[in-house]
């Protein structure tokens, strides 16, 4: 069986010269790669006591839902602003050029719930940090944050230093 790293397509000089883009779609398009990715991420949770899985739009949904399903846990989506129909809580966060806003339903996390946050990739950590702040504002306790891939050169893990963060694949560069 191939290692999960072998399913990730690396594209040099995208979106700009000197950057190696790590393409998750090549993992998703291969049944063995997808199974290995989900199973590897699920393995990161084997000794974690938690109540709910939260996934960040949109690739956090791709990985978070099957993990929640396999472990018989509820799934809560964090979406881009304006996508959720009920009363929401929101956080703004900085992007490389500008800012963005994410939201979640105000009633999606109950006080005291232990939460696992799932996404495909950690780069600078800004999006997931905003998600964590919303979870905590609602009274949830983030007990684990997991990613399929990590770009260690962008230091996102440092931004989340107060949390238990784990990644299946760690790339040293950006």
Query: What are the φ/ψ torsions at residue 62 (nearest 5 degrees)?
Result: -60, -40
**108-125 pLDDT, tens digit each:** 999 999 999 999 999 999
- Is 22 annotated in the active site? no
Residue 108 and residue 84: Cα distance in Å, rounded?
Answer: 12
pLDDT at 163 over 80: yes
Among candidate residues 6, 9, 96, 158, the one labeled active-site is 96
Among candidate residues 22, 59, 79, 157, the one labeled active-site is 59
- Is 79 annotated in the active site? no
pTM of this structure = 0.96
Residue 14 and residue 33: Cα distance in Å, rounded?
Answer: 23
pLDDT of residue 162: 97
Answer whether 50's CB lies under 8 Å from 24's CB.
no
């Amino acid at each position: 069986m191939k290692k999960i790293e072998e399913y990730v397509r690396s594209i040099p000089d995208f979106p700009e010269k000197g950057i190696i883009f790590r393409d998750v779609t090549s993992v998703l398009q291969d049944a063995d790669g997808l199974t290995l990715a989900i199973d590897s991420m699920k393995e990161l949770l084997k000794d974690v006591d938690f109540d709910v899985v939260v996934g960040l739009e949109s690739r956090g949904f791709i990985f978070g839902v099957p993990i929640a399903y396999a472990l018989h846990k509820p799934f809560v989506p964090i979406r881009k602003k304006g996508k959720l129909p009920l009363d929401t809580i929101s956080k703004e966060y900085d992007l490389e050029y500008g800012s963005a806003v994410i939201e979640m339903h105000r009633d999606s996390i109950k006080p005291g719930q232990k939460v696992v946050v799932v996404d495909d990739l950690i780069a600078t950590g800004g999006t997931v940090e905003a998600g964590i702040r919303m979870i905590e504002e609602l009274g949830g306790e983030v007990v684990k944050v997991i990613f399929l891939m990590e770009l260690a050169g962008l230091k996102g893990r440092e931004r989340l230093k107060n949390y238990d963060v784990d990644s299946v694949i760690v790339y040293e560069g950006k």
